[in-house]
Structure formats: structure tokens, C-alpha cells
Amino acid sequence: MKPIQNVVLVNEQDVALGKMEKLEAHIKGQLHRAFSIFIFNTDGELLLQKRADEKYHSGGLWTNTCCGHPEPGEVITSAAAKRLNEEMGMLCDLKFGFKFLYKENVGNHLTEHEVDHVFFGISNNLPDINEDEVSAYRYVSWEELKDEMNDVPDTFTEWFKIIYEKAFDFFRVTEKFLSKSAA
């Protein structure tokens, strides 16, 4: 049995207001803090993961490299790096890019309502996936992803559909900076 995980409840300005058990926050649609990670290789391809079918929401769907929630009192950058290693078996220097607020129904009577902190990294290392969390991975180019989003959007998570274009735009603008800091 997994230990209880609490999320940080926040207001729209990302000020911490308290904590709540993660599943309860998703059932009630409570605004909470989260992070999303986008790892690109040096060819500019994005590493996607396919969420394990057993996940309590969005199982079997493709999404960004990794995502999760910091625990109360945990530094979000540290939480993101820890989760990347837990899910994808990867260590990578992560740089904060931007944050955004969204609210989406994700099925099973659950709602993702998050202030999502988006981190970026560059790595050519292949993941060593945790099969309890991830069922597959692959690298995609911008063109491939755009085509898939048009042709089969239901194979992607709701939050990824919202953010993928902004993430690719951000990466293209900051790629040289990220590459230098990764070296």
C-alpha cells in the first residue's frame, strides 16, 4: 500500500494555504501546486512517457516526461528532480521555465486544478522507467507531436494538450541557455 501523499493547497497566486490528501484534492477539484518536466535531447526531440494503465487517472495516455506534486514544505525543484528519478530513472539538471494555472476534468470524477511549475532539461540518456508509473517512453519531434495532437488528441493527457505548444516555444527560445548550463 502506498503511503498517503499530501499536496500543497494554494491560491491563484501560488501562495500556500494548507494541505490535503492527493486523491481527495483531485476528487474535490481543489487548487494545488504541481510540476511538469520536459526533457529534450540534443536533437530537440521531447521525451514523452506513457502513463501506466494502473494510474488512478489518465492511465495509458501519453504525456510530458514527468509530472508530480511537491509535499508540504518540500522545495519544488528538489521534488521535481526526485520524481524524475523515481519515474524515469533519470538525473538531469532542471531549469524552471514558467508556471500556469489550469482546471480540467480527467475522468473518474476527478479534476486536475493546479498551479503547474514547468521545468526543462536536456539529456541524451535513455530512461530506466519505473513500470508502476510508466508503461513506455519515446522521443518525438515538434512536427510529429503536432501531427499526433491533430490526429489522435485523445491519446494524450489533458494538461499536456494545454501546455505542449508553450513548452516547445519556450524550449526553442532558451535552448542555447539550457545547453550551456547542462554542459
Q: Which residue has the cell 519556450?
A: 170
Phi then psi dihedrals of residue 32, to 5 deg = -145, 170
Known catalytic residue at 114? yes
Known catalytic residue at 24? no
Query: Which of the residues 87, 112, 114, 158 is marked catalytic?
Result: 114
Task: Give DSSP secondary structure letters for 43-106.
Answer: TS-EEEEEEPTTSSSSTT-EESSEEE-PPTT--HHHHHHHHHHHHH------EEEEEEEEEEEE
Alpha carbon of 140 to those of 43, 83, 154, 164, 169: distances in Å?
Answer: 10, 22, 17, 12, 15
Nearest Cα to Cα of residue 50 among 140, 114, 125: 140
| CA-derived radius of gyration, the chain | 16
Q: Is the separation of the CB atoms in 137 and 48 below 8 Å? A: yes
Query: Which of the residues 67, 92, 112, 158 is marked catalytic?
Result: 67
Catalytic site positions: 67, 114
